[in-house]
A = this chain, B = another copy of it.
């Protein structure tokens, strides 16, 4: 399970039917790379979260027919960010 910071919601009008009404979030890790994840826990901008990938991502949404490969699994209560590693934060 990887560790990410929530950056923003993702606005996406045209998408495959399999994603249904899920909320999408843009995540960014400490090295600056980004991914999109389904959010079933209600994470806010700035939260540190961990994600589930693969088929676990679909089960975690609570509806296996949702076509995701990355789902937020939980919000971390406390995290030392180490943002000095990130190229995007000088």
Interface set of A (CB-CB < 8 Å, partner B): 1-3, 10-19, 24, 26, 31, 33-37, 40-42, 50, 52-60, 62, 65, 67-78
Q: Which residue of B lies closest to A11 (CB)?
A: B77
In the bound complex, do residue A67 and residue B54 qualify as a contact, i.e. CB atoms below 8 Å apart? Answer: no
Give Cα A10–Cα B88 distance, bound, in whole angstroms. 26
In the bound complex, do residue A74 and residue B1 qualify as a contact, i.e. CB atoms below 8 Å apart? Answer: no
In the bound complex, do residue A15 and residue B41 qualify as a contact, i.e. CB atoms below 8 Å apart? Answer: yes
Listed from nearest, the 9 A-B pairs whose CB atoms lie closest are A15-B74, A1-B36, A12-B74, A60-B67, A11-B77, A56-B69, A36-B50, A56-B67, A16-B60
In the bound complex, do residue A1 and residue B68 qualify as a contact, i.e. CB atoms below 8 Å apart? Answer: yes
